[in-house]
């Protein structure tokens, strides 16, 4: 499956007023090589193994495969993950046409970093940009979770 997304910095916490719900996420990486990342993620007690391919030149598109796995197995895999376990709270902000923003508030050593991303059906799909969005950082590898 192809993933098409755009990513933005966030300038204030007004997104919380628009959020329909939120999730607590812990994730780590078993592989962060440029050609692919292998991620273990626990979201509100459910666990997933995700493999993502290399991003397109503009950073918007890449192959993604995901499978739910046993939560105890995920915790064991996090024990052998590369350094840099990420913990964050993800807010879901619905938009028109079934689209939505996911706004991640990072915790721990990344506390203070807030990123918004939107997945699109195709790269040129128009979407409304809320006032709380700041600079677009799509394609900037400094904001890839796998690089944090």
Catalytic residue ranges: 29
Distances (CA, A) of 120 to 17, 22, 61, 116: 23, 20, 10, 13
Distances (CA, A) of 98 to 73, 95, 118, 119: 33, 6, 11, 11
- Write out the two tokens for 103: 């706004």
Contacts within 8 Å (CB) and 24+ apart, 66-73:
69/40, 71/42, 71/45, 71/46, 71/47, 73/47
């Amino acid at each position: 499956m192809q993933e098409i997304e755009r990513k933005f910095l966030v300038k204030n916490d007004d997104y919380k007023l628009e959020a329909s719900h939120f999730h607590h996420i812990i994730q780590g990486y078993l592989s962060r090589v440029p050609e692919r990342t292998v991620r273990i993620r626990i979201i509100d007690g459910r666990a997933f193994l995700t493999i993502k391919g290399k991003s397109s030149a503009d950073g918007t598109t890449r192959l993604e495969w995901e499978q739910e796995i046993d939560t105890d197995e995920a915790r064991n895999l996090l024990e052998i993950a590369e350094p840099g376990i990420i913990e964050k709270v993800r807010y879901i902000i619905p938009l028109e046409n079934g689209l939505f923003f996911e706004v991640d508030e990072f915790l721990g050593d990344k506390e203070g970093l807030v990123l918004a991303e939107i997945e699109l059906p195709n790269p040129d799909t128009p979407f409304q940009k809320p006032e709380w969005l700041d600079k677009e950082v799509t394609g900037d590898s400094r904001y890839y979770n796998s690089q944090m």
